[in-house]
Chain A
Amino acid sequence: MIGGLDTLLEGVLLGGVYALFAVGLSLIFGIMRLVNLAHGDIIVLAAYLILTAMAAAGVSLGVATALTILVMFVAGFALQRLVLERVLGDDILPPLLVTFGLSIVLQNGLLLVFGADSRRLQAGAFEATSINLAPGLSVGLAPLIALVTAVVVVTLLQLLFYRTSLGRAFRATADNPEIAQLMGIDQRNIYAFAVGLSLAVSAIAAVTFGIRSNFDPSIGPARLLYAFEAVIIGGLGSLWGTLAGGIVLGLAQTIGGRIDPEWQILSGHIAFLIVLILRPRGLFPAGRR
């Protein structure tokens, strides 16, 4: 037996972190059809920013996270208006090359500033706390909070998209950017907001991840791949699908890891390839488009 219930639970909780990785990627692609190859490195950047805020300003993890979310939102807005806006268009090559270049710049920039040592976000007692769900079945508080956070973030985003005027503007722009302009929607600001939102969510992902795992400047690309796999497994066009995709990926990796620790990451890739073969549109694709 591969450990049964607690393996499943661990997989689901890991999935919460992967879902948070994936939401930022999914957001930008859904609204702007842009894939940000620097996405993983941006999550790592956020983790380092939180670390720095705690070390330099002496603030608690919560405050550092809030500050970082704000900074990342602004950075995303600027990234779109100053850089990405210039290369968005029918040709998909320039945005891919620019974001790939950005990935290289971020990785090496972080390496120069922080060095290659592994770091961890200190959450104090929070990290080690466990909750007893049932006799013999306990979960770490931090991983549980990660999953809960993922659900909360997706819920809030859904509310934004489906119950607000701004959300309507996002969806209209995603459908038809040219006609959306006829509604008085300034595309540039919509896109900038979307990228800002994506980076802000990545900051949230960074804190849930950085508490439970070590990070260093080189781990960005792997986060991008997990985010991507979660999106594809879940299916395009639906944030709940992305959440589900993250959980499936988390389960695949955890179960694979129980069989053989060296196979953990490879199991995720295999699960991704299987979904691509059997269900190319993902497990829970959105109906339209």
Chain B
Amino acid sequence: MKPERPPIVWRVQSATKLSRIAGVAAAVIVPLLFLVPAVASRNLLQDLIFVFTMLALAQLWNVLAGWGGLISVGQQAFVGVGAYALFAGVTLAGLDPLLAILAAGCLAALVAAVLGPLMFRLEGPYFAIGSWVVAEALRLGCAQFKPLGGGTGMSLSSGALASMTETKSVATLFDIRTAAARDVIVYWIALLLVIVITFAIYVFVRSRLGLGLAASRDNNAAARSVGVRTDRIRYWLWVIVAFATGMVGALVYLQKARISPDAAFSVVDWTAYVLFVVVIGGVRTIEGPMVGVLVFWALQYNLSGYGSLYLLVLGLIAILVMLFMQRGIWGSMAARWNWQLFAVRKLLTRDDS
């Protein structure tokens, strides 16, 4: 009898050395970020709120377009709906602002759930413009809604703001005024939101659902033939992204405490900038928007005073990146050196134990 060789065992592995290091680094950095309000100036906090909310919107847009194949230039619809829902909740229904944020997300999700099937009748690029039309229609609709300020908008009453949950305790804890305390709470929520959103996207992309959707993107017929329920997954992705986008919108406008239809539904603030962040960093990667938001923050910080010239330059950069470096900054580096901070790929390796 011939001696038998032990059978080869194969394993599916996702983690790489770099991703493990990144995981450890994140476990250290993230708690530190929560402690930042203890040492940071109010300006820095507001900047970081801007960074976190832009990053959140970018990650959401990225997963919708990159995995869901739904390229929307109308996500400002949900930012606006979320923001207006917050103002409605606080001003008209007397809700605590934090609760109103959650309600805002729910309303945005509802709008998405209802309009989704309608908009999915439009193919690819026409879906993109269709989403813009919806955003415009909502903007005009809100401009007609007088109780929330109509075309000129309104501010949140300082009473409602001051009585927001935990504001007083935070104010005493850090020995700051209530307005600054509100910024601290918003900061924590923004940080929490962006962490949850990033983590959720990471889990989704690694999951069967995420893989299925990515397969559909490459070849829809083939994916359907192996049982991927593309339409269902895509629909729920659309609704959940709207939910999260609505909450981010509500949070942003809670911090600003002032709303107008043109601002809340601004295509430049909530789509153009978001697209820029994703494109610069790298579409279809989780790390990409993180790199992109840092580049954007640097540009915004230094150049936003230049108004139109700044926007012109941003537009040109985006075009040039798309023409010559389609993968973005992170994407190009990652492709070249085979980097991955978020372990999303599945590799077949031999188990040599």
**Chain A: residues with CB nearer than 8 A to chain B?**
29, 33-35, 37, 83, 86-87, 92-98, 100-105, 107-109, 111-112, 221-222, 224-225, 228-229, 232, 262-263, 265-266, 269-270, 272-273, 276-277, 280
B275 & A112 in contact (Cβ 8 Å cutoff): no
Q: Known pairs A35-B128, A93-B71, A273-B137. 8 more at Cβ < 8 A?
A: A96-B125, A104-B268, A104-B318, A225-B129, A269-B136, A276-B118, A276-B122, A280-B121
A105 & B312 in contact (Cβ 8 Å cutoff): yes
> B201 in the interface, Cβ–Cβ < 8 Å?
no
Interface string of B123-138 (1 = CB under 8 A from A): 0111011101100110
> B283 in the interface, Cβ–Cβ < 8 Å?
yes
A224 & B73 in contact (Cβ 8 Å cutoff): no
Least CB distance from A127 to B in Å reads 29
A266 interface neighbour in B73, B137, B283, Cβ under 8 Å: B137
B73 & A101 in contact (Cβ 8 Å cutoff): no
Q: What total count of A-B pairs have CB within 8 Å?
A: 115
A87 & B272 in contact (Cβ 8 Å cutoff): no
Which chain B residues lie closer than 8 Å to A272 at the CB level?
A: 133
Secondary structure class of chain B's binding surface, majority of residues: helix
Find the A residue at minimum CB distance from B326.
A94
A269 & B65 in contact (Cβ 8 Å cutoff): no
List 9 A-B pairs, Cβ < 8 Å. A87-B326, A92-B71, A97-B279, A97-B322, A98-B318, A225-B133, A229-B133, A263-B144, A266-B141
Least CB distance from B223 to A in Å reads 15
Which chain A residues lie closer than 8 Å to B121 at the CB level?
A: 276, 280
> B203 in the interface, Cβ–Cβ < 8 Å?
no
Which chain A residues lie closer than 8 Å to B283 at the CB level?
A: 93
Least CB distance from B347 to A in Å reads 25
Which chain B residues lie closer than 8 Å to A86 at the CB level?
A: 323
B73 & A100 in contact (Cβ 8 Å cutoff): yes
B312 & A232 in contact (Cβ 8 Å cutoff): no
B315 & A104 in contact (Cβ 8 Å cutoff): yes
A92 & B118 in contact (Cβ 8 Å cutoff): no
Interface residues in B, total, Cβ within 8 A: 39
Which chain B residues lie closer than 8 Å to A229 at the CB level?
A: 133
> B267 in the interface, Cβ–Cβ < 8 Å?
yes
> B316 in the interface, Cβ–Cβ < 8 Å?
yes
Q: How far does the alpha carbon of A35 sit from the alpha carbon of B132 in the complex, in Å? A: 13
Q: Given A112-B309, A276-B118 in contact, is the A100-B275 Cβ separation under 8 Å?
A: yes
A29 & B322 in contact (Cβ 8 Å cutoff): no
Q: How far does the alpha carbon of A239 sit from the alpha carbon of B326 in the complex, in Å? A: 34
Q: How far does the alpha carbon of A96 sit from the alpha carbon of B144 in the complex, in Å? A: 31
User: Which interface residue of A100, A103, A266 has the most chain B CB atoms within 10 A?
Assistant: A100
Q: How far does the alpha carbon of A36 sit from the alpha carbon of B66 in the complex, in Å? A: 20
> B211 in the interface, Cβ–Cβ < 8 Å?
no
> B140 in the interface, Cβ–Cβ < 8 Å?
yes
Interface string of B260-296 (1 = CB under 8 A from A): 0000000110001001000100010000000000000
Which chain B residues lie closer than 8 Å to A96 at the CB level?
A: 71, 73, 125, 128
Which chain B residues lie closer than 8 Å to A29 at the CB level?
A: 125-126
Find the B residue at minimum CB distance from A227.
B129
A232 & B122 in contact (Cβ 8 Å cutoff): yes
